[in-house]
């Protein structure tokens, strides 16, 4: 086997490549049979072919092995000397023999190489997958078939696991009822579930490419979410939990808890962020702008204070307090004290996680507003 013969044997492996979607396409390329002469024992290229990690072989038309390298023999858990001179029936499973011989005959009949994947039985009894190239050669005066392959079993298993994970994620996105959105690093929506479209009253096709920021109300939660987003995109955090106030097509709002997780692709850095919304609140119009005094009045009402206690605590006259209560009934569309308190919580004016009651925008526990 001289240098030209070795190049002809190894070149097809470089031509065997995976498509962008992870599959290996089966294509036929034009080719001619190459001449393979007996090799001298000191031929360095023949030694290279024997020791290359790609599995290579030469068989005659009957299925008898004329040559195989160590990598090919290793696929079957044996040595190359135990393969050379033997027939396919001595090495492969019965179901594989017919399939492999048919492929050999196709290569010989058309006289051209074929790039493809195949499955075979590994030495441990488990199924394996290999990707490579099979093509016609002449071994001395005999017209034969040569092949060169790479074992892609582990890669194929990882690819299958990825496809299953993507299918599970798609099912979760579309059928769980959760608000699932995949965001690009620039903050635009890459994909979204039907629950998101239903909650916002926006078609899925219109959500794609939309800046997620346009779906958030201008609240303190939005500012906090911006800080968290910067940490996620920069890689300082892998996940986070926060709250957000969503704005639908009609301008109405809904509060939700949001779970954020980064997605890392094949290139360095974050390729996206999954946002999953839970505990979706009631849909309500944008809350009115209230003064700090009005918010404190609502907090004291929620704590059970009567009018006299509220006026004394805030140092207001009874007439001023009555004026504020009247304004609050109008602004919040609530006729009674219990209704005012309920509306204050529904609209997010008061924080549902604190006692004594206080504003949801209070900077610290000691601040009532």
pLDDT over 60 (residue 21): no
Question: What number is the average pLDDT over the span 286-312?
Answer: 85
Tell whether omega for the bond before 94 is within 30 degrees of 0, i.e. cis.
Answer: no
- As beta bridge partners, residue 273 has 183, 262
pLDDT digits (tens, 9 = 90+) for 144-156: 999 998 888 888 8
User: Other C-beta atoms within 10 Å of 192: how many?
Assistant: 23
* Phi, psi (rounded to 5 degrees) for 282: -70, 145
Q: What is the pLDDT of residue 7?
A: 47
The rounded distance, in Å, linking the Cα atoms of 153 and 167 is 21
Comparing 3-155 with 176-278, is the CATH topology the same? Answer: yes
pLDDT over 80 (residue 35): no
Q: Does domain 176-278 have CATH number 3.30.450.20?
A: yes
The rounded distance, in Å, linking the Cα atoms of 270 and 205 is 25
Q: What is the pLDDT of residue 62?
A: 92
Q: Say how many residues make up the chain.
A: 369
- Positive or negative torsion for Cα 308, 311, 317, 321: negative
Question: What number is the average pLDDT over the span 314-329?
Answer: 88
Between strands 239-247 and 189-192, the pairing is unpaired
Q: Does domain 288-369 have CATH number 1.10.10.10?
A: yes
Give the rounded distance of the alpha carbon of 206 from its chain centre: 22
pLDDT digits (tens, 9 = 90+) for 58-116: 999 999 999 999 888 888 888 888 999 999 888 887 778 888 898 899 999 988 888 88
Phi-psi region of 126 (alpha: psi -120 to 50; beta: other; left: phi over 0): beta
Give ∠ CA 56-57-58 in degrees, rounded to 5. Answer: 145
pLDDT digits (tens, 9 = 90+) for 230-281: 999 998 999 999 988 899 998 888 888 999 999 886 667 788 999 999 888 8
User: Other C-beta atoms within 10 Å of 257: how many?
Assistant: 15
Q: What is the pLDDT of residue 266?
A: 64
Cβ proximity of 290 and 315 under 8 Å: no
- As beta bridge partners, residue 261 has 239, 274
What 8-state DSSP symbol labels residue 87? B
Fold annotation for 3-155: Beta-Lactamase (3.30.450)
Q: Which two tokens stand for residue 187?
A: 């903050």
Q: What is the pLDDT of residue 282?
A: 76
Per-residue burial over 145-159, b if 16 or more Cβ lie within 10 Å, else e, is bbbbbbbbbeebeeb
The rounded distance, in Å, linking the Cα atoms of 353 and 95 is 67
Q: Which two tokens stand for residue 315?
A: 């140092």
The rounded distance, in Å, linking the Cα atoms of 343 and 337 is 10
What 8-state DSSP symbol labels residue 116? E
**3 state SS for 214-277:** HHECCCHHHHHHHHHHHHHHHCCCCEEEEEEEEECCCCCEEEEEEEEEEEECCCCCEEEEEEEE
Contacts of 319 (CB under 8 A, 6+ apart): none
Question: What number is the average pLDDT over the span 345-364?
Answer: 72
Give the rounded distance of the alpha carbon of 214 from its chain centre: 24
User: What are the domain boundaries of the chain?
Assistant: 3-155, 176-278, 288-369
């Amino acid at each position: 086997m001289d240098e030209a013969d070795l190049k002809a044997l190894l070149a097809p492996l470089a031509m065997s490549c995976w498509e962008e979607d992870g599959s290996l396409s089966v294509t036929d390329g034009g080719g001619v049979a190459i001449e393979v002469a007996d090799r001298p024992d000191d031929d360095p290229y023949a030694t290279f072919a024997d020791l290359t990690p790609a599995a290579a072989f030469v068989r005659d038309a009957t299925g008898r092995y004329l040559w195989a390298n160590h990598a090919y023999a290793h696929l079957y858990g044996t040595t190359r000397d135990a393969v050379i001179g033997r027939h396919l029936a001595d090495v492969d499973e019965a179901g594989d023999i017919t399939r492999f011989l048919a492929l050999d005959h196709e290569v010989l009949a058309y006289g051209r190489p074929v790039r493809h994947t195949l499955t075979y039985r590994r030495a441990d009894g488990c199924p394996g997958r290999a990707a490579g190239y099979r093509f016609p050669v002449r071994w001395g005066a005999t017209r034969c078939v040569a092949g060169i392959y790479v074992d892609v079993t582990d890669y194929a298993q990882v690819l299958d696991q990825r496809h299953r994970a993507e299918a599970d994620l798609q099912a979760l996105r579309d059928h769980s009822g959760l608000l699932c959105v995949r965001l690009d690093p620039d903050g635009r929506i890459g994909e979204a579930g039907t629950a998101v479209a239903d909650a916002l009253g926006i078609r899925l096709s219109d959500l794609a490419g939309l800046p997620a920021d346009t779906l958030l109300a201008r609240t303190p939660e939005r500012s906090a979410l911006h800080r968290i987003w910067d940490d996620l995109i920069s890689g300082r955090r892998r996940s986070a939990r926060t709250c957000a106030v969503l704005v639908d097509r009609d301008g109405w709002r809904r509060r939700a808890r949001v779970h954020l997780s980064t997605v890392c692709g094949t290139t360095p850095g974050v390729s996206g962020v999954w946002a999953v919304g839970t505990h979706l609140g009631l849909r309500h119009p944008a809350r009115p702008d209230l003064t700090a005094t009005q918010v404190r009045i609502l907090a004291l009402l929620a704590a059970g204070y009567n009018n006299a206690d509220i006026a004394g605590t805030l140092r207001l006259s009874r007439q001023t307090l009555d004026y504020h209560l009247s304004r609050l009934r109008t602004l919040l569309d609530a006729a009674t004290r219990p209704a005012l308190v309920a509306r204050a919580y529904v609209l997010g004016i008061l924080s549902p996680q604190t006692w004594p009651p206080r504003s949801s925008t209070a900077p610290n526990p000691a601040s009532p507003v």
